Amino acid sequence: MNTKHLTPSAGRPKAIIIGGGVIGCAAAFQLSEAGFDCTVLDKGRLCSEATTAAAGMLGAQVETHHPGPFYELCRISQGMYRRWTDALEHTGGVSTEYIAEGILRAALTEEDEQELRSRLAWIQDARWCTPDELRELEPALSPKVRGGLHFPADHQVHPAALARALKAALVKQGCTIREETPVFRLLKDTRSGRITGVQTAEGPLYADTVVLAAGAWSPALTEPLGLPLPMFPVKGQCISVKPQAPLTQSTVFTKGCYIVPKADGSCLVGATQVEAGFDKRATAAVIADLHARASALLPALADAEFLSTWAGLRPGTRDGLPFMGTWETAPGLIFATGHYRNGILLAPAAGRIVRQLALGEKPLLDLAPFDPARHLNQPAP
Interface with ligand FAD (CB under 6 A): 18-24, 41-44, 48-51, 53-57, 182-183, 213-215, 217, 236, 238, 270-271, 312, 314-315, 337, 339-345
Q: Considering the complex, what minimum distance in angstroms separates the CB of residue 149 from ligand FAD? A: 17
Residue number, 133 or 233, with CB nearest to ligand FAD: 233
Assign residue 115 a region (left: φ > 0; alpha: ψ between -120 and 50; beta: otherwise): alpha
The type of residue at 172 is: K
Residue number, 11 or 196, with CB nearest to ligand FAD: 196
Residue number, 116 or 260, with CB nearest to ligand FAD: 260
Backbone angles phi, psi at 70, to 5 degrees: -70, -45
Distance between CA atoms of residues 138 and 313, nearest Å: 31
CA dist list (Å): 196 to 175, 208, 209? 19, 6, 7
Q: State the CB neighbour count (10 A cutoff) for residue 67.
A: 13
| DSSP assigned state of 223 | G
Q: Provide the 3-class DSSP secondary structure of residue 257.
A: strand
Q: Considering the complex, what minimum distance in angstroms separates the CB of residue 184 from ligand FAD? A: 7
* CB contact at 8 A, 194 and 188: yes
Q: Considering the complex, what minimum distance in angstroms separates the CB of residue 123 from ligand FAD? A: 18
Q: Considering the complex, what minimum distance in angstroms separates the CB of residue 273 from ligand FAD? A: 8
Backbone angles phi, psi at 196, to 5 degrees: -110, -10
Q: Considering the complex, what minimum distance in angstroms separates the CB of residue 311 from ligand FAD? A: 7
The type of residue at 10 is: A
Residue number, 268 or 298, with CB nearest to ligand FAD: 268
Q: Considering the complex, what minimum distance in angstroms separates the CB of residue 207 from ligand FAD? A: 14
Residue number, 20 or 197, with CB nearest to ligand FAD: 20
Residue number, 103 or 107, with CB nearest to ligand FAD: 103
Residue number, 136 or 169, with CB nearest to ligand FAD: 169
Q: Considering the complex, what minimum distance in angstroms separates the CB of residue 254 from ligand FAD? A: 15
Q: Considering the complex, what minimum distance in angstroms separates the CB of residue 309 from ligand FAD? A: 11
Q: What is the DSSP string of 112-174?
A: HHHHHHHHTTT-SS-EEE-HHHHHHH-TTS-TT---EEEETT--B--HHHHHHHHHHHHHHTT
3-class secondary structure per residue, 259-288: EEECCCCCEEEECCCECECECCCCCHHHHH
* CB contact at 8 A, 24 and 41: no
Residue number, 4 or 144, with CB nearest to ligand FAD: 4
Least Cα distance to 205 among 11, 338, 49, 14 occurs for: 14
Measured in whole angstroms, how far is the alpha carbon of residue 293 from the centre of its chain?
A: 24
Q: Considering the complex, what minimum distance in angstroms separates the CB of residue 235 from ligand FAD? A: 7
Residue partners of 77: CB distance under 8 A and separation at least 6: 60, 345, 346, 347, 348, 349, 350
Residue number, 55 or 123, with CB nearest to ligand FAD: 55
Residue number, 237 or 326, with CB nearest to ligand FAD: 237
* CB contact at 8 A, 88 and 95: no
Beta bridge partners of 211: 17, 334
Estimate the crossing angle of helix 343-358 against helix 22-33, to 10 degrees: 40
Q: Considering the complex, what minimum distance in angstroms separates the CB of residue 7 from ligand FAD? A: 20
